[in-house]
Structure 1
Amino acid sequence: MSPDKEQHTKTPVGIQNALGASKNLQSKELHALQIFSATCSGHRQHNDDACAVRLPERLELKRYGALAAVADGVASAEAGGEAARAAINGFFSDYYSTPETWSTRHAVARVLHSLNSWLYRQSGGSVEIQRGWLTTFSALIFKGTSAHMVHIGDTRIYRLRAGKLECLTRDHSHQLSPGHTFLSRALGMDVHIEVDYRCEALQTGDIYLLSSDGIHDFLPETSIQKRLSEFDKTTPQQLIDAALKSGSKDNLSAVVARVNNLDFPQCDELAMHSRTLPFAPDLSPGQKLDGFLILQELYASKRSHLYLAQDHVTGELRALKTPSVNYCDDPNYIERFIAEEWTGRRINHPGVIKLYAPRAERACLYHVLEYIEGQTLRQWMQLNPQPEVSQVRELLSQLVSALRSLQRLEIVHGDLKPENIMIRNNGRLVIIDLGGVDGPGLREQLHFTEIDTPGSKNYAAPEFFYGDSASHRSDIFSLGVIAYELLTGKYPYPERLGNLHYHLKSYQQLRYTNAYVHRKDIPHWIDSALQKACAPNPKQRYDSLSEFIQDLQHPNPTFKPAQNHPLLEKNPILFWQLIALILLLSHLLYVF
C-alpha cells in the first residue's frame, strides 16, 4: 500500500524556523553563493516538513561543498514528521563525514541507503504505510562548479537561468483525483531504494529553489519565476505567503540559492600548489633537499627516481620519490604524480605504503614515503618458483585486505603487479606504488582532464586498452594474474606478454591457458577460480574480492572438472606446434 499525501498527522519541527537561516561565504568566497530558507506549518497544527542549509568553512567547503535540503513527511504515516527530521539531520551529519576520496554521487548514495535502511527498520519492516517512518527528500549540493541533485518523492528542485524556469526533478507520484496524490517512492518505504541523481554545471546568476508540495502545488510557475527573479533573503517567505494566499492547506518549505559567481574553492590547496612547483633535480648521495639528506638511489626508471633519505629533524629514514624531468611538460603526468600523493595521504592501512604530507617549505615536486626494508614480490617469486598453495593463499589474503581498503575509499589501484608489491622483512605484504590510482572522487576533487592507460599491460585489465571505464573489477583482474603467476610461474595470456604495443579488438581475443597445463597438482576448482578472476570481460569476473578468496580456499560446487576438451583449447601452443610439424613432415614426404 502506498501513502496518501492528503492525510497528515503533524509533530513540531526543529530544523528551521519560519524565517529560516541565511549565510554568505566569507573571504575569497564572499558572496559567491547565498542561500535562504523558510518553513512553516501553514494552516495545520503541526509541521511535518523539514529543511536545512549548510555553508561550511573553507576546508570543508572545498571537500564537500554547500548543502541545502527539503524533506516532507509522508501524509498517511504516523511518524512522517519524525522521518523528515531524521532524514535531514542524518543526511547533513553523515554526508560531511564521508571519505573525501568518494565521488559526490557515491557519497550521497551510500548515505541515503543507510538512512533508508534505518527508517525502514524504525517501521519494523512493516508494509503498513500508516506505521511507517516515511518522507520525501530533495537535496542540492554546490561543489566546485557543479550542482549535484538527489531526489525521491514529490518535493522539487527548480532552476531559474537566463529568465527561464525549469523543474529539474520529476515527481514520484500519481494523481488519483483532484487533491488526492499517491506516492510511489519515498525514503523508508521499502528495504530497497531508488533515488534520482543529476549533476549540472553551474552558471553565474543561477537561482535554485527546493520546495515542498505545499508551495509548488498551489503556485503557478509564472508566480514562482517572478519571485525568484526578485531574489533576496525574504524570497522563501514570500513563496510561502503566496502559496497560503492561493489556498495551500499543507505544510510549506522553501530553500532558495543564488550563484553570484563561480569563485568557489576548487580542490586541495596543497595539490593546487604542487602544480606550480618545479621538478626536483637528479640527486646524489650527500646532497640535501628541504632538510632531507640523500643517502643513496634506490630505484630509477624513465618515469621516476626513488632515493633513501634521512630526515635531519627526526633522524628517521624516508624514501623520496621524484618525477622524471622527461615529463616536465606533460600535464597529464604531473596530474598523476600529484594524485598519487593526494591519495596516499588519505589511505591508512598496513598493506599500503604511507605517504607523508610534505613540508611547507618544499622547493620542488617530490613525495615523502615510508622506507620499507624487504624484497619485491617479483624477487620472492624468483626465489620460490612453485610455492605451496597455502603460501599463495596467505599472500593473496594480505593483498585482498589492502585492496579492500582502497575499494572502501572508491579508489582503483590500476597498476597492480609484482614489482609494485613488497614483502617486509617480517613477511607482511605492502603495496608500494600508487602512481596508477584512479576513481571518480579523485577526478572530482583534483579535476583531472585526462587519464593515461597504465603502463604495465601484462597486468592491467583489458578494459583499460579497450576503452571501457576502470572499476574495482580491474584490480581483481590484476590480482588474478598475479595469483596465476605465483602458482605457475607463467602468464595466463601469452599473447599479451612482453613489451610490444598492444591492440585489443575484443575481449574474445584473449584465450585463457589453464593453470594445470603448467602445474599438474593444481585442482580444477582453483584453476576455475583463477580463470574467473582474470576473465577478459569485466562482467564475467568476480564482483568482490572476498568471493575470489573464498573460491581459492574452498571448492566451489559450480566449478566442474574439465572434460576432454580439444587440444586447441587445452594447449593452443602445443596444438599449433603439432600442426606445423605435421605440415613439415607431409612436405618432406611429398618432396622425397
Structure 2
Amino acid sequence: MSLDHDMMITVGPSPAAADSSPGNKQEALQLFSASCPGHRQHNDDACAVQLSQGAELQQHGSLAAVADGVANAEAGGEAARAAINGFFSDYYSTPETWATKHAVARVLHSLNSWLFRQSGGSTEIRRGWLTTFSAVIFKGTSAHLVHIGDSRIYRLRNGSLECLTHDHSHTLGPRRTFLSRALGMDAHIDVDYRCEALKAGDIFLLSSDGIHDFLPESTIIERLVNFCESTPQQLIDAALQAGSTDNLSAVICRVNSVGLPQCDELAMRNRELPFAPDLRPGQLLDNFQVLQELHASSRSHLYLARDQETDALRVIKTPSVNFCDDPLYIERFIAEEWTGRRVSHPGVIKVFAPSCERRCLYHVLEYIEGQTLRQWMQLNLQPQIPEVRELLGQLVSALRSLQRMEIVHGDLKPENIMMRNDGRLVIIDLGGADGPGLREQLHLSGECVPGSKNYAAPEFFFGDSASHRSDIFSLGVIAYELLTGKYPYPERLGSNHYRLKNYSQMRFTRASAYRSDIPHWIDSALQKACTADPKKRYSALSEFVRDLQIPNPEFKVPHKRPLLERDPLLCWQLLALALLLSHLLYFI
C-alpha cells in the first residue's frame, strides 16, 4: 500500500508534519494530529488527516482517523498503518453515488478481510494483524463516525465533553483490559456507525488509550478549550506526565463554521435555470438544432436534435412547464441527469454534459435507433423461452451496473426500454432513479414518485423505501409479460395510484395458466421474483437468472388446488345448480 500524497499520516514523534498540512489553513475546519511511542521502543499507533477541497470535499468530505495496533499481536503496528493507509486510499476511491455509511462499511469489510488473511486466518491475538480504528468524516453539515475497538472519539460542545463511542473491551483488573472487537480479529466484523449534526464551535478529539486512559476529563477539556496547533502534543505530554506507559496518538478537529449543505455544483446551477418552451423543428436551443418531436407527455418532452458542433444526433429532454413551480419535480429532473452522467454501461442510455452554458433546463441524451420493448412485444407474441432468457440477461447486466452504484431504477417497464436495430436492449429513462448516495449528494427532500402501477413493486404503495428487490419485482413482471402477454396480477387501470392494506391482497396467477409449455420451475421462478412481499422475493439478480436457466430443486411440481380454492364463485354456483337439479328430480 502506498500513501496518497495529499494524506497526512503520523506514525512516530513527528507531529509537526501533520500540523503543517496545507489544508489546515481552511477556515471552516481545522485538523491537527500528533503521535509518539511514549516510553516504548516502537510506535504501534497511526493517525492521519485529510482536508479535502473542491469536488472532493463535496463528494467525500474531510477525514480524520486513529488506529491503535494491538500490542500483544505480532503485527499490531503494521496493522494500524495498513488500516489507516488503506482506509484513506479506498474511501476516496468509492463512487460518489454510494452513501457514506455504505462506503465506509464496504471499505472496512475489505480491510478487515485483508488483515485477517495476513494473520493466516488465526484467531489467536498474538499471531494476528489486529488494530482498533476510529474515524470521523466531515461531510456537509454532518459528522459520520465509524468505530471499532477501544480508541475513542470525543466531542466538546458548549463546554461539555461527551464520548461518542463505546469501548469494545472488557476490564480484567487495574490497567488490564481484554479487547473484544478489532479489525483483523475475525473474518466478520461489527463496526459502530453514527451520524451527528455539526455545529460551529464543535471540537472533536480522536485518541488512543495511551491518552484517555490516563487523563481526567477536566484536563482534556482544558486543553481542547484552548485549541491550537500544539493541542495534540499538549495532550500527549500531559498523558506522559500522568504516567502513560502506552503509545499515544491524538487528532483534534475544530468546526469553525457550518454552511448550507453542500450540493453538486452543476445541480445547484441547474436549479436556477428556467424551463424550456415548447420547441418546433428548425429552432435552435443553444448549439442544438431541433429536427422533430419524438415524444410528449404531461411530464416531459423529447426532441431529436443535431449538435451543430459535432454534427451528431442527440435527444433533448425538456421538463414540462406544468411543473415549473414544483420543486420536487425539478429536484428529480436534475437528479436524472446527475445519475445518468455517472453510469457507464452499454445497456443504460448515455447522458452527455452540454458543451456550452445552458440557457434553460434540459438533458442531452444519446439517440438510439430502434423500437421500444413494448413495440417489439406487440409484434412478437409469446416468444420462445431461450429468446426471453437472452433479453432478460441484457437487462440484468444493465441493472447490475446500477446496483453496484447503489442506485434503484424504480420505473422499469417495456416503454422505458429501447431495442436497438441490432437487438441490444437499453434502459432509456432514469427519472425514477433513487438511492441513499444520490439523496446524500443532492440533498433531495421528497420521496420518489412510484413508477407505473402494473410494474412498480408493491412496497412503493405502502410508502416503504425502494430497494434492489423493487427492481427485481419489475423485472419479474416484464419477464412474465414477455412469456405470456399478461400481467401476473390483475391489471390496474386509471391514473390514480392504488393503495394496499397488506401484501396478501395481491393474488398471483401462475404463468402456466396462460401458456402450457412453461415448465413448473420457470413458473415458480417468476412467482418468486414477483412475490408481493419483498422479504420473500429474490435478494439478488443472479439468483433469478440461475433459476430461469437451471431447475431449482426447491421448486416442486404444484398440486392442482381444489375448485373451491381456485374459483370459489364457480364452485358455489355449481353447488347451487346441483341442489336445484336435485329438487327438480325429487318433484318429478
* TM-score, with length taken from structure 1: 0.94
Distance 1:213 1:439 in 2: 38
Of 382, 401, 406, which residue of structure 2 is paired with 1:405? 401
Unaligned runs of 5+ in 1: 1-11
Of 446, 451, 455, which residue of structure 2 is paired with 1:459? 455
Of 158, 166, 175, which residue of structure 1 is paired with 2:171? 175
Which residue of structure 2 aligns with residue 243 of structure 1? 239
Unaligned runs of 5+ in 2: 1-8
Which residue of structure 1 aligns with residue 569 of structure 2? 576
Distance 2:129 2:191 in 1: 17
Distance 1:86 1:337, change over 3 A: same
Which residue of structure 2 aligns with residue 263 of structure 1? 259
User: Deviations for 1:379-410, whole angstroms, at most 9, x for unmatched residues?
Assistant: 11111111100011000000000000000000
Equivalent positions of 1:25-40 (< 5 A) are: 30-40=26-36
Which residue of structure 2 aligns with residue 161 of structure 1? 157
Q: Determine if the alignment matches structure 1 residue 136 to structure 2 residue 132.
A: yes
1:19 is paired with a residue of what secondary structure?
helix
Distance 1:557 1:104 in 2: 40
- TM-superposed CA distance for 1:204, in Å, is 0.9
Distance 1:384 1:582, change over 3 A: farther
Q: Determine if the alignment matches structure 1 residue 71 to structure 2 residue 71.
A: no
Which is further off, 312-321 or 453-462? 453-462
Which residue of structure 2 aligns with residue 395 of structure 1? 391
Distance 1:566 1:282 in 2: 59
Distance 1:351 1:540 in 2: 28
- TM-superposed CA distance for 1:128, in Å, is 2.1
- TM-superposed CA distance for 1:367, in Å, is 0.3
Distance 2:288 2:27 in 1: 43
Distance 1:103 1:225 in 2: 33
Distance 1:88 1:298, change over 3 A: same
Distance 1:567 1:204, change over 3 A: farther
Of 215, 226, 242, which residue of structure 1 is paired with 2:222? 226
The answer to whether the 8 Å contact 2:10/2:18 transfers is no
Which residue of structure 1 aligns with residue 81 of structure 2? 85
User: Deviations for 1:159-204, whole angstroms, at most 9, x for unmatched residues?
Assistant: 0111111100000000111111100000001111110000011111
Which residue of structure 1 aligns with residue 353 of structure 2? 357
User: Deviations for 1:315-347, whole angstroms, at most 9, x for unmatched residues?
Assistant: 000000000000011111001000000000000
Q: Determine if the alignment matches structure 1 residue 17 to structure 2 residue 10.
A: no
Distance 2:179 2:44 in 1: 16
The answer to whether the 8 Å contact 1:212/1:253 transfers is yes
Q: Determine if the alignment matches structure 1 residue 483 to structure 2 residue 479.
A: yes
Which residue of structure 2 aligns with residue 290 of structure 1? 286
**1:391 partner letter:** E
Distance 2:575 2:292 in 1: 57
The answer to whether the 8 Å contact 2:12/2:36 transfers is no
- TM-superposed CA distance for 1:566, in Å, is 2.7
- TM-superposed CA distance for 1:433, in Å, is 0.1
Which residue of structure 1 aligns with residue 114 of structure 2? 118
Distance 1:488 1:352, change over 3 A: same
Of 85, 95, 100, which residue of structure 2 is paired with 1:99? 95
**1:221 partner letter:** E
**1:480 partner letter:** G
Distance 1:520 1:166, change over 3 A: same
Distance 1:120 1:323 in 2: 52
- TM-superposed CA distance for 1:222, in Å, is 1.6
The answer to whether the 8 Å contact 2:23/2:50 transfers is no
Distance 1:584 1:280, change over 3 A: farther
Distance 1:474 1:74, change over 3 A: same
Q: Determine if the alignment matches structure 1 residue 55 to structure 2 residue 71.
A: no
Of 320, 329, 332, which residue of structure 1 is paired with 2:328? 332
User: Deviations for 1:522-541, whole angstroms, at most 9, x for unmatched residues?
Assistant: 11100110111111111101
The answer to whether the 8 Å contact 1:13/1:85 transfers is no
Distance 2:409 2:270 in 1: 22
Which is further off, 490-499 or 441-450? 490-499
Q: Determine if the alignment matches structure 1 residue 373 to structure 2 residue 369.
A: yes
2:279 is paired with a residue of what secondary structure?
coil
The answer to whether the 8 Å contact 2:286/2:356 transfers is no
Aligned-residue sequence identity (percent) comes to 73
- TM-superposed CA distance for 1:231, in Å, is 1.0
- TM-superposed CA distance for 1:19, in Å, is 3.4
**2:569 partner letter:** W
Which residue of structure 1 aligns with residue 4 of structure 2? none
The answer to whether the 8 Å contact 1:62/1:265 transfers is no
Distance 1:582 1:114, change over 3 A: same
Q: How many residues align?
A: 577
2:132 is paired with a residue of what secondary structure?
strand
1:283 is paired with a residue of what secondary structure?
coil
- TM-superposed CA distance for 1:111, in Å, is 0.4
User: Deviations for 1:552-582, whole angstroms, at most 9, x for unmatched residues?
Assistant: 0000000001012133554x5xx53565687
Distance 1:329 1:129, change over 3 A: same
- TM-superposed CA distance for 1:130, in Å, is 1.1
- TM-superposed CA distance for 1:110, in Å, is 0.5
- TM-superposed CA distance for 1:498, in Å, is 5.2
The answer to whether the 8 Å contact 1:16/1:51 transfers is no
Distance 1:240 1:468 in 2: 49
Q: Determine if the alignment matches structure 1 residue 538 to structure 2 residue 534.
A: yes
User: Deviations for 1:211-251, whole angstroms, at most 9, x for unmatched residues?
Assistant: 00000000111211121111111111111111111110100
Give the alignment's Cα RMSD to 1 decimal: 2.2
Distance 1:153 1:26 in 2: 29
Distance 1:69 1:166 in 2: 18
Runs of 4+ in 1 over 3 A off after TM superposition: 12-16, 22-27, 495-501, 567-570, 575-592
Distance 2:261 2:448 in 1: 26
* TM-score, with length taken from structure 2: 0.94
2:15 is paired with a residue of what secondary structure?
coil
Distance 2:299 2:12 in 1: 54
User: Deviations for 1:426-467, whole angstroms, at most 9, x for unmatched residues?
Assistant: 100100000000000000000011113324111111111112
2:295 is paired with a residue of what secondary structure?
strand
Distance 1:23 1:345, change over 3 A: farther
Distance 1:385 1:567, change over 3 A: farther
Distance 1:477 1:451, change over 3 A: same
Distance 1:22 1:584, change over 3 A: farther
Distance 1:386 1:154 in 2: 62
- TM-superposed CA distance for 1:263, in Å, is 2.9
Distance 2:519 2:248 in 1: 66
The answer to whether the 8 Å contact 1:23/1:35 transfers is no
Distance 2:145 2:205 in 1: 12
Which residue of structure 2 aligns with residue 447 of structure 1? 443
User: Deviations for 1:288-310, whole angstroms, at most 9, x for unmatched residues?
Assistant: 00110000000010000000000
